[in-house]
């Protein structure tokens, strides 16, 4: 690991442990995520501490994925850490995508404020299951876009759009006659209407997850991201690093949950000895250590593949399944080790459990990744026979 990444990661860890964690008791945290006032306050502190957007260097270049992994893991030690440091989803993935695909003008207008941490963004792809829209299968997308003079006109419905409430930048996916397209839009816009913010199991993302009606949204032609019909190609560019960065951040939170559970098991006594000395408890914590170590190695391996310039589609599928399932086992065992305290809001372990449960769904449910890996296995087998 490079010296620069180790230094950045160490600074981020000190900031999260000393400055961010005390905010976990702040009553501006709610069921639909922390309030924007809290996010702004934390970002001001991160800016002052020199740890805002730490994975993007002053010249606009990114740390490598392997370097990013150790930095984002530290920011994830608190569910508020990624928000404070501007390493949170969906902004982190959106910044990555804009860095790769946006034009120079689009970067100045939409990317720079995101990197500066002064605004938030949202990514509009999923659609309501009731309408038969895009979900696990993005090709089912029903939102349409058609050219009208110098503008594209977009109509459709979207669901589970993280952070749409309160975002200033939207990346909206829709289908033209050429295929999928992506658009950059300024938010709020009267044509993008929040039908509701959905109550979900997780609560770490500001603005929550919204159901949205898009009614005759007019977007100037120069706000199309890339070319018409190439939207799914750009989604692929975003997907592998974005799903891996979720693994990095949640590894941080699972590590913290393990620290808390270990503290509990060492301090708390039952039947004449500390809980940790009961094999049932000690083994759970030992299994956690194994899962955490395997998750870290899996992330590092996949990050190394992405650093070669590969899209890493199969590797990021493997990493996403392995890491999300391992971290969920870790969080579940931490809850169990801590008894009633584990399911209470008295520690962050309960939130870790909820957040990591949701992570097994978004950025591709485990079954979809296994299914696409099985298709690859079949393809490779056939190719080997030919
Ligand atoms: C907390 C959260 C935040 C989100 N944020 C965003 C966002 O910001 N922007 C956005 O566009 N979307 C977002 N999503 C949506 C997310 O990407 C979708 O929920 C996900 O792609 C699954 O789609 P779906 O919910 O329609 O499930 P469905 O497509 O209805 O699938 C349901 C289940 O069917 C099974 N399944 C599906 N396909 C297969 C298969 N091939 N083989 C075996 N089993 C299969 C899986 O178990 C899957 O969980 C978010 C979701 C959540 C929960």
CA pair distance 79, 124, nearest whole angstrom:
23
Q: Decide whether any atom of ligand 1 lies within 6 Å of the 358 Cβ.
A: yes
pLDDT band at 104 (very low <50, low <70, confident <90, very high): very high
CA pair distance 172, 170, nearest whole angstrom:
6
For the chain, report the end-to-end CA distance as a whole number of angstroms: 41
pLDDT band at 42 (very low <50, low <70, confident <90, very high): very high
pLDDT band at 355 (very low <50, low <70, confident <90, very high): very high
Length reported for the chain: 386
If you average pLDDT over residues 290-307, what whole number do you get? 98
pLDDT band at 365 (very low <50, low <70, confident <90, very high): very high
94, 368, 373: residue to mutate for ligand 1 pocket, most atoms within 8 A of CB: 368
CA pair distance 358, 278, nearest whole angstrom:
31
If you average pLDDT over residues 363-370, what whole number do you get? 96
The predicted pLDDT at position 260 comes to: 98
Atom of ligand 1 nearest to the CA of 136: 29
Atom of ligand 1 nearest to the CA of 133: 26
Residue closest via CA to ligand 1's atom 11 equals 125
The predicted pLDDT at position 214 comes to: 98
Name the pairing type of β-strands 169-176 and 121-124: parallel
Using the 8-state DSSP alphabet, how is residue 136 labeled?
S
Closest CA to 223 of 293, 128, 154, 300: 154
pLDDT band at 385 (very low <50, low <70, confident <90, very high): very high
Domains and CATH numbers, the chain: 3-88 (1.10.540.10), 121-227 (2.40.110.10), 232-385 (1.20.140.10)
Q: Which residues of 203-221 are buried (b: 16+ CB within 10 A; e: fewer)?
A: bbbbbbbbbbebeebebee
Please state, rounded to an integer, the average pLDDT across all residues of the chain.
97
Helix (H) or strand (E) holding 157: strand 151-162
CA distances (Å), origin 298, targets 244, 316, 320: 10, 9, 9
If you average pLDDT over residues 123-127, what whole number do you get? 98
The predicted pLDDT at position 207 comes to: 97
pLDDT in tens, 130-178: 999 999 999 999 999 999 999 999 999 999 999 999 999 999 999 999 9
pTM as predicted = 0.97
pLDDT band at 324 (very low <50, low <70, confident <90, very high): very high
CA distances (Å), origin 32, targets 26, 29, 45, 206: 14, 8, 23, 7
- Tokens matching residue 6: 């180790």
Give distance in angstroms: CA of 150 to centre of ligand 1: 34
In angstroms and rounded to an integer, the radius of gyration of the C-alpha atoms of the chain is: 21
pLDDT band at 293 (very low <50, low <70, confident <90, very high): very high
């Amino acid at each position: 690991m490079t010296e620069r990444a180790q230094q950045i990661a160490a600074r981020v860890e000190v900031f999260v442990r000393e400055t961010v964690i005390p905010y976990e008791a702040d009553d501006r945290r709610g069921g639909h995520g922390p309030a924007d006032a809290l996010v702004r306050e934390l970002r001001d502190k991160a800016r002052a501490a020199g740890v805002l957007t730490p994975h993007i260097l002053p010249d606009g270049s990114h740390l490598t994925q392997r370097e990013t992994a150790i930095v984002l893991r530290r920011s994830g030690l608190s569910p508020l850490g990624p928000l404070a440091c501007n390493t949170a989803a969906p902004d982190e993935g959106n910044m990555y995508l804009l860095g790769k695909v946006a034009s120079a003008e689009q970067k100045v207008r939409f990317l720079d404020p995101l990197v500066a941490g002064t605004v938030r963004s949202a990514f509009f792809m999923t659609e309501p299951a009731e309408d038969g829209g895009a979900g696990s299968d993005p090709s089912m997308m029903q939102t349409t876009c058609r050219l009208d003079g110098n503008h594209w006109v977009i109509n459709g419905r979207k669901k589970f759009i993280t952070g749409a409430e309160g975002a200033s930048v939207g990346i909206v996916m829709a289908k033209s006659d050429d295929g999928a397209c992506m658009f950059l839009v300024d938010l709020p816009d009267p044509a993008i209407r929040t039908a509701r913010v959905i109550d979900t199991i997780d609560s770490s993302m500001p603005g929550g997850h919204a159901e949205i009606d898009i009614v005759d949204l007019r977007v100037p032609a120069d706000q199309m991201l890339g070319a018409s019909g190439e939207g799914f190609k750009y989604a692929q560019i975003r997907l592998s690093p974005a799903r891996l960065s979720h693994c990095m951040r949640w590894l941080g939170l699972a590590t913290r949950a393990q620290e808390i559970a270990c503290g509990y098991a060492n301090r708390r006594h039952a039947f004449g000895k500390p809980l940790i000395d009961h094999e049932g408890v000690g083994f759970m914590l030992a299994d956690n250590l194994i899962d955490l170590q395997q998750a870290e190695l899996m992330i590092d391996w996949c990050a190394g593949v992405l650093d070669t310039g590969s899209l890493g589609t199969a590797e990021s599928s493997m990493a996403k399944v392995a890491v999300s399932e391992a971290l969920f086992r870790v969080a579940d065992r931490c809850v169990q080790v801590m008894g009633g305290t584990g399911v209470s809001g008295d520690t962050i372990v309960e939130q870790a459990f909820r957040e990591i449960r949701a992570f097994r769904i978004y950025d591709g449910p485990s079954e979809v990744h296994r299914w696409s890996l099985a298709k690859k296995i079949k393809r490779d087998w056939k190719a080997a026979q030919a």
